[in-house]
Structure 1
Amino acid sequence: MSAVTVRAAETRGVRDVAEAALGWVAAHRAEFTLGEDALAAYGQVDSTWKPLGELAQVCATVTRRTPPADPLHTRARDLLAHAWDQTERGALFLDMQRQEPFATYPLEVYAAFAAAGLRHPGYETAAATVARTRGWRLVEQGPTRRLGVLAAERYSGITRPEPAAAVRDGTWLGGLPEPWTFEAHAGYALTHVVFHLTDWGRAGPAGVPPRLAAYLTQWLAPWLDTCLEARMWDLSCELLAVAASVPGSLDPPAHQEAWSRLAAAQRPSGALPETGPAGDTDPDGTDGFGHCYHSTLLAAFAAALTDARHGQGAPG
């Protein structure tokens, strides 16, 4: 990374990162379009519904954490409307329910829209019917995924006696593991536990128990530094979103330094690669949609949460 690039990044605020990232997403909205393969048997969910669901999840949070007059709010609202239209205003969820009644991903994607007030009563009725079966309740899942499913169920009015706290405590983060056992898989798991507990930053930090907040406050900074040093921009964004969701988990100098390094990695187009070299160019050809969309969305997500918590300007 050149000294010029670093100096330029230092003059950019968190808000600039959010605007550039959402600008790139808006310019690539056509690549979030669902094709005919979206309902294909054994379809490639990771390249169809997953990007659309992530777009909806991030935009639902940005619209919640920004005032209506904010240009970020307007852009996120428009992208959310585009994503909802791709689902035929919820009708495709009902089709998926009939095709794969015990798949949980349709409900998880639907919950992102429901969080923004976009609902399809017919799908919710069908999902609730399946959720009453033993087959649904006994689907085997890892605890982090199960915590997400439980959160998604609540958006459709589905309740079950399974205590979410017990599921939470069975996750990597919930067990307060030795901090040196942190690696990428654990990192993505812990960030999603926090996302589920805070309703993707929309509900505030109250859902994060004090013991988890204290653990994150102690160890988030070195984990984030490790990811930034390894140029793992995607996971770095997720950890910065955790920092914005758990007040005090990063001190101001560490917070500012992390955002400066992330800003330096963002391309002039607004894209942020998942991993790889930072700077103004793309020497490895990593600016493609598949390598950038998730990390760019998460950059907008983390920046919007940070901006909402700290106000305009540098994080504190």
Structure 2
Amino acid sequence: MTTTQATEIRQVARAALAWAAAHRADFALGEDALSADGQVNGTWKPLGELAQVCASVTRATPPADPLHTCASDLLAFAWRQTGDGELFLLLQRLEPFATYPLEVYAALAAAGFRHPAYEAATATVARTRGWRLTEQEPTRRLGVLKAEERGGIHRDAPGEQVLRRTWLGGLPEPWTFERSAGYALTHVVFHLTDWGRAAGGVPCDLTSYLAHWLPAWLDTCLDARMWDLSCELLAVAASVPGLPDDAVPAGAWERIAAAQDASGALPEEGDPADPEQYFTHHYHSTLMAAFAAALTAGQGAPV
């Protein structure tokens, strides 16, 4: 990667994080965050995604980097939204067998934000058969196991067995790739690499499989203007050592940059959606653009 290319990719990350900073109020937890009928996907999920991406960006950038400064500021904001962790403890008491509080907490814990009382309470519940036997899809199960590790819960878990039950871990026929499989495989890689922070977490056979088929899948998603999934696949390409130089199709980042609007927002697919659903249809893809761009630029020449 040339210095010019790295600079262009960094601009994607810079614009995306600037959008997130400008829209931080939309990531804030509302009064329904602890409600029994609250919509988790509209409260805790956006905040957790913000924390997860910003935690990875801070690890991929030096402290003096403006990207690092912006991501650190957003992380501090996310932690304040949880009452410095107190809301996790309340959630654990309200929904002791829900995994999403631990998954959100784990993203913040990876950045050094911890709440010992919550970790102790969750560790108690995690020792129950009810917690261990909660039925989950393999990719989600793998994510929960990794969240447990981040949250201070250590057990002899059948990680390899769980991995091999995921879509990617089973090395399926490449022509069976479609949207849900794409999101499943990206998250398997994110879990194995600690969201781009740990090289060497992907087994050799999976790396070889991705080396063969990731370029075609990514090219297909870009052609379909599936910007959100394209950014996740770009993050995979930046997270797995040993992939060929042509794992990312030529012009991929130029297409992502062109799809961003002037504010730095990136729609999930196609063109911008209904203005009334603007945040819902932009926040995840915009965060994924920042995530993938920061990881990719970190591989290139210093800028």
TM-score bucket of the superposed structures, by smaller chain = over 0.9
Is residue 13–residue 293 contact of structure 2 (8 Å, CA) maintained in 1? Answer: yes
Taking the TM superposition and a 5 Å limit, the aligned residue runs for 1:1-316 are 13-204=8-199, 206-252=200-246, 254-277=248-271, 282=272, 285=275, 288-312=278-302
User: Gaps spanning 5+ residues in structure 2: where?
Assistant: none
In structure 1, the residue corresponding to 2:62 is in which secondary structure?
Answer: coil
Give yes or no for contact 1:273–1:286 (8 Å, CA) kept in 2. no
What's the CA shift string for 1:251-299, capped at 9, x where partnerless? 348444211111111111100000013xxxx586488111000000000
Asked if the contact 2:214–2:247 (Cα under 8 Å) also holds between the matched residues in 1, the reply is: no
- Matching residue's letter, 2:294: A
Query: SS of the residue aligned with 1:290?
Result: coil
Secondary structure of the equivalent of 1:247? Answer: coil
Do the aligned partners of residues 68 and 12 (structure 1) sit closer, same or farther apart at CA in structure 2, a change above 3 Å counting? Answer: closer
Relative to the length of structure 1, the TM-score reads 0.91
> Helix, strand or coil: the match of 1:309?
coil
- Measured after TM superposition, the shift of residue 246 of structure 1 is 1.3
- Output the CA distance in 2 between the equivalents of 1:250 and 1:266: 27
The range that moved more, 232-241 or 287-296, is 287-296
Equivalent AA in structure 1 for residue 293 of structure 2:
A
Compute the displacement of 1:13 (Å). Answer: 1.0
Compute the displacement of 1:106 (Å): 0.3
Counterparts of 2:270 and 2:228 in 1: how far apart (Å)?
10
Task: Determine the C-alpha separation between the residues in 1 that align with 2:6 and 2:217.
Answer: 25
Mapped to 1, the partners of 2:247 and 2:131 lie a distance apart of 47
* 8 Å contact kept, 1:12–1:263: no
Amino acid at match of 1:99: L
Q: Deviations over 1:36-81 (max 9, x none)?
A: 1000003100000000000000000001110000000000000000
Q: Decide whether aligned partners of structure 1 residues 137 and 252 sit closer, same or farther in structure 2, where only a CA change above 3 A counts.
A: same
With over 3 angstroms needed to count, the CA separation of the structure-2 counterparts of 1:285 and 1:250, relative to structure 1, is: farther
Residue 4 of structure 1: aligned partner: none
CA contact (8 A) 2:6 2:297 kept: no
1:62 & 1:91 partners in 2: Cα distance? 25
Task: Give the aligned CA root-mean-square deviation in angstroms.
Answer: 1.7
Q: Is the 8 A contact 2:219 2:249 kept in 1?
A: no
In the alignment, the residues of structure 2 paired with residue 266 and residue 137 of structure 1 have an alpha-carbon distance, to the nearest angstrom, of 42
The residue type equivalent to 2:225 in the other structure is: R
SS of alignment partner, residue 17 of structure 1: helix
Distance across 2 between alignment mates of 1:222 and 1:244: 16
Q: Give the drift of 1:311.
A: 3.1
Letter paired with 2:30 = G
Structure 1 residues 11 and 117, CA gap change in structure 2 (3 angstroms):
closer
Q: Is the 8 A contact 2:227 2:269 kept in 1?
A: yes
Contact 2:174 2:213 (C-alpha < 8 Å) held by counterparts: yes
Structure-2 separation of matches of 1:11 and 1:92? 39
Query: Does the CA contact (< 8 Å) of 2:232 and 2:288 recur in 1?
Result: yes
Which consecutive residues of structure 1, in runs of 5 or more, have no partner in the other structure? 1-9
Corresponding pairs, count:
299
Once residues 273 and 155 of structure 2 are traced to their aligned partners in structure 1, the CA distance between those partners, rounded to angstroms, is 51
Distance in 2 (CA, whole Å) between partners of 1:196 and 1:186 is: 15
